[in-house]
Structure 1
Amino acid sequence: MSLQERLLSIVEKKKSNLCVAADFENSADVLRIAEQVGPHICMLKTHADILVDFSQEFVTSLQDLAKKHNFLIFEDRKFADIGKTVQHQYSAGTLKISSWADVVTVNVLPGPGVIQGLKAALSEQEQRSRGCLVIAEMSSADNLATADYTKHAVEIGEAAGDFLLGFICQHRVSQKPGVLHFTPGVKLQAGGDNLGQCYLTPEEIVGRRGCDIIIVGRGICQADCPASTAQTYQKVAYELYQKRQ
């Protein structure tokens, strides 16, 4: 089963196209949220490089929760360097991301070599169980991912073959069959924060712009009850997703 087939199977089985962004500085907080929202998500997004106590024990616990609740682990690393450097960033060092993250993000400003570097870190068998999301658009105000950049990012991503799971974007950017569209900056109420983040609603992202997976962070993680809030997002987003099928 390919990574894409695995994700779509989870989406259908759990009736969830929700990814929760667990952007915490402590491993215990990531694991706590993963346990609380696990039944309602198809993916959990991490930022391992901001954890002050990253460890192999954390990785094992996170993988156990992913297996228990049936979700994919998505490390938002945003690789953006020459291929050889990226190859080592992905597979070596303290984090050893390729050993535990099903999905990673990649910024294609360096060109196609950045994706080639990721693939070079994996065996052919490992490539079938791993994948990348190419950043085509961003949700922050005044970002430089202009239309021309998006066009080239999509071209580079589509050329990556099965290793491409999809795009990080604000609207549907690819017509290639099987390519999925993931959107951060989603909240039940539109708005923004004081650091330039712009929030759009599930109705806008899934219903009108045609994206597939919503990525929600503070709207769930800072809620009084993350589990019930995640369930609300799950229901709203999946109903919108089903209407498009």
Structure 2
Amino acid sequence: MSYTMRTYEARAETHPTEIGRRLLTIMASKKTNLCISADLTDPSQILALVDKLGPQICLVKTHIDIITFTTPSSITDFTTALSALATKHNFLIFEDRKFADIGSTVAHQYRGGVYRIASWSHITNAHTVPGPGIIAGLHSVAKEVGEPRGLLMLGEMSSEGNLGGGEYLQKTVEMARGDREFVVGFIAQGKVDGAKEGEDWIVMSPGVKLGGGGDALGQRYNTPQSVVGDKGSDVVIVGRGVIMSEDPVTDAEKYRVAAWGAYEKRVAAA
């Protein structure tokens, strides 16, 4: 049976990565496959929003480098507070860093600098243009942390004209197979075709909106049913549809119900 047709509970027992098992367990227990993209610039606003939405999500996705911090210590204050919320509400943190350099450089970027991403982010992601050295570099740092960490490979984005998918996605999959202990899955618009026996890739899809459509800057939106029910993705990543809402808690629940319902229908059809 395809991994996309198995339940999250079943996959939580067998997923090859520790952080993948933890994420799938959270998804099953909370009945949510919703990731909120907290693309705001005010750290206090982000923390307040995440505290409200914590019960409804399995992940929060951050862009740490767009947040306005007044001092270096305020960065640590923010990541510590965000980690506390992750514990309080039982979700994981996904820093959408999109690493894209040689192994030695990304190791420094992941480990240090002002953000020290590896110290607080459970999952991060990377482009595959630099080759497999980028995975090795990031994994070397993850091993130093002493807590489970995972990597998503960027196989396909949601913006119009992106160069992902097709042959690029398949080469990305081949690269990911070289480190199934660290690579959790992919950023893509649906399941990864051609998975071999025993493989289980968690696929997360950005650009999800209940009404579909797009924006003036090339973003293309898909619905929860489209990416989860029809295309076989596992997690929907929702940003503006919730964070710009006048009632983010109510709208987040709409997305949670829609995405979870699409998953249940997909599994029931197996």
Q: How does 1:189-204 map to 2 (within 5 A)?
A: 189-204=211-226
Name the residue aligned to 1:58.
78
How much does 1:146 deviate? 4.4
Task: Please identify, of 218-227 and 144-153, the stretch whose mean Cα deviation from structure 2 is larger.
Answer: 144-153
Name the residue aligned to 2:255.
233
Rounded to whole Å, the distance in 2 between the matches of 1:183 and 1:203 is: 12
Rounded to whole Å, the distance in 2 between the matches of 1:108 and 1:155 is: 10
Is the contact between residue 110 and residue 118 of structure 2 (CA under 8 Å) also seen in structure 1? yes
Rounded to whole Å, the distance in 2 between the matches of 1:45 and 1:225 is: 19
Query: How many residues are matched?
Result: 244
Rounded to whole Å, the distance in 1 between the matches of 2:38 and 2:45 is: 8
What SS does structure 1 have at the residue aligned with 2:110? helix
Question: What is the TM-score when the length of structure 1 is the normalising length?
Answer: 0.96
1:144-163 residue CA offsets vs partner (Å, 9 max, x unmatched): 22412111111111222121
- Do residues 44 (structure 1) and 60 (structure 2) align? yes
Partner AA of 2:221 in structure 1: Y
Name the residue aligned to 2:103.
83
CA separation of 1:118 and 1:71: change in aligned 2, threshold 3 A: same
CA separation of 1:87 and 1:199: change in aligned 2, threshold 3 A: same
Rounded to whole Å, the distance in 1 between the matches of 2:203 and 2:53 is: 21
Name the residue aligned to 1:157.
176
- Do residues 205 (structure 1) and 227 (structure 2) align? yes
Task: Please identify, of 151-160 and 93-102, the stretch whose mean Cα deviation from structure 2 is larger.
Answer: 151-160
- Do residues 26 (structure 1) and 42 (structure 2) align? yes
Rounded to whole Å, the distance in 2 between the matches of 1:143 and 1:165 is: 22
Name the residue aligned to 1:139.
158
CA RMSD, 1 decimal: 1.4
Structure 1 stretches lacking a partner, 5+ long: none
- Do residues 112 (structure 1) and 132 (structure 2) align? yes
> Which contiguous aligned blocks of 4+ residues in structure 1 show a shift greater than 6 angstroms?
none
Partner AA of 2:22 in structure 1: R
Name the residue aligned to 2:31.
15
Partner AA of 1:150 in structure 2: L
Name the residue aligned to 1:181.
203
Identity %: 44
- Do residues 94 (structure 1) and 114 (structure 2) align? yes
1:129-151 residue CA offsets vs partner (Å, 9 max, x unmatched): 00011000010001122412111
1:10-63 residue CA offsets vs partner (Å, 9 max, x unmatched): 001100000000011121121122111111000000000111115101011101
Question: What is the TM-score when the length of structure 2 is the normalising length?
Answer: 0.87
Rounded to whole Å, the distance in 2 between the matches of 1:146 and 1:122 is: 27
- Do residues 68 (structure 1) and 88 (structure 2) align? yes
1:44-99 residue CA offsets vs partner (Å, 9 max, x unmatched): 00000111115101011101110111000000000000000000000011000000
What SS does structure 2 have at the residue aligned with 1:166? strand
Rounded to whole Å, the distance in 2 between the matches of 1:13 and 1:146 is: 32
Rounded to whole Å, the distance in 2 between the matches of 1:123 and 1:115 is: 12
Rounded to whole Å, the distance in 2 between the matches of 1:82 and 1:10 is: 33
Is the contact between residue 207 and residue 237 of structure 2 (CA under 8 Å) also seen in structure 1? yes
1:81-127 residue CA offsets vs partner (Å, 9 max, x unmatched): 0000000000011000000000001101000000111011132673x
Name the residue aligned to 1:223.
245
Is the contact between residue 127 and residue 153 of structure 2 (CA under 8 Å) also seen in structure 1? yes
Structure 2 stretches lacking a partner, 5+ long: 1-16
